[in-house]
Amino acid sequence: MRKKNKRVILENLPVTDYAAEGRALAKADGKVIFISGAVPGDVADVLITKSKKDWAEGRVVQVKEFSKDRSVPFCQHFGTCGGCKWQMLPYAKQLQYKQQEAEQNLKRISKVALPEILPIIGGADTIHYRNKLEFTFSNKRYWIFPNSSEAGAFEEPENLTEFVNSKVSPSGGGGGLGFHVPRIFDKVLDIEECFLMGDVNNTIRNTVRSFALENNYSFYDIREHTGWLRNIIIRYCTTGELMVNICLNYDEESDRKKLFDHLLKEVPSITTLLYTINPKWNDSIYDLSPQIYHGKGFAMEELATGRDGERLQFKISPKSFFQTNTKQAEKLYSVTRDFAALTGNEIVYDLYCGTGSIGIFVSKLAKKIVGIEVIEEAIVDARENAALNDIGHAEFYAGDVIKICTDDFFAAHGRPDVIITDPPRAGMHEKLVNKLLEIAAPTIVYVSCNTATQARDIGLLGEKYSVEKVQPVDMFPHTHHIECVVLLKLK
């Protein structure tokens, strides 16, 4: 162990196991160390960022010996960019650790009897799998200087100014277009090539950046709230439809037309081009109105249900939520439908229904679908998507599930035979869990993007429900994120 500028660095620390959420494990001085940036089998120098009596957290500053399980990352931005943090692991190993994390969380946190957990369903495509990406403009570029050409061998300097160098042009012209770097909110890593989406994302991003630099357009400054260009949001659907939304701090019609006409000329495959004027300090566009410059203003996506060649259509507007991995969404929803075991006689309640994708996916096997979602715009989309697919037995309501699901509501719409719940990462509110216990539907299918909060909720539902099946699904290769579907039956 050595100390530099009051920082503690553990040298030559053997990394022994995988923990959770992308972190690895080591032991030192009787403490368990949770480490970011390492894989089991590495020997690394680790900077301690938090220290408690029995455990500590740290991050790798230099890998001294590489694990035999490592593979060479395929992206030039690996190690700096905040995405795809597991590129240094073969995909089979990623799936192994995700399976391990799902099992440990569900067993340790839920404290209920579990069946044998089914093997995780991996993705056929481990690159180019996302249908949505968002890139940020910044007049401050982030620079990194590796100390070795070997993958992963980055040494953190004593002085951060040696590590990060900003190019700022107060009058505009210059900066980066890419992703925010972890822990540095005001600088952007200039992305040349991103493998998360088909190559069209690189063409769009690099075309816009080159034209902006050539014409001295100003990039946004998040600290000063100045500059013109803010964000690019790209949706690339399996149908081939391509929607681009460029967010601007203020309108500059002449420059906007020049930029947009150039982009449409260089990328004629764009089916819809929009712009959103965002004068706010934050990047959220959900309270703003995107304007159509070219095309119909939305994109169409399809989901294959796996039933007699059936394909469902979904209209995706600029502010719509839709699963960002379409092919894996088909697998996730198929598992959900199979767990529900519908016979055509069931009333299905779809909680946190969003734009209605899960409810619509299972609808052909249900007597009735009742979708509930707190975001009103999503409910508008859900109703439109149901109509697009000629589904007349699906109803969607905006509001809080706890307030909506009253005796009067059940009298009007029927009590649920099956409840599908797909909450955000925070899981379900305890009041909703209590409401589900009160409703006592025979079947609950719980879809989650966070096995820790899912396990917590399952433990609470254990008062009346038993866990019958558990199926992890990998929606995001090269990341530590895990989806998991759990079937619960009333005891």
All domains of the chain, ordered by start, with CATH?
2-70 (2.40.50.140), 96-126+323-490 (3.40.50.150), 132-300 (2.40.50.1070)
Residues in the chain with pLDDT < 70? 1-6, 143-174
Question: Is 449 an annotated catalytic residue?
Answer: yes
pLDDT (0 to 100) of residue 159? 39
Q: Which residues of 341-366 are buried (b: 16+ CB within 10 A; e: fewer)?
A: ebeeebbbbbbbbbbbbbbbbbbbbb
How many residues does this entry show for the chain? 491
pLDDT (0 to 100) of residue 304? 95
The catalytic position among 194, 247, 449, 484 is: 449
pLDDT (0 to 100) of residue 4? 57
Q: Which residues of 439-452 are buried (b: 16+ CB within 10 A; e: fewer)?
A: eebebbbbbbbbbb
> Which contacts qualify for 285-289: CB closer than 8 Å, 24 or more apart?
285/233, 285/245, 285/247, 285/318, 285/319, 286/319, 286/377
The letter for the amino acid at 119 is P
Residue 198, token pair as written in the block: 């088909």
pLDDT (0 to 100) of residue 283? 93
Q: How far from chain centre, in Å, is Cα 98? A: 15
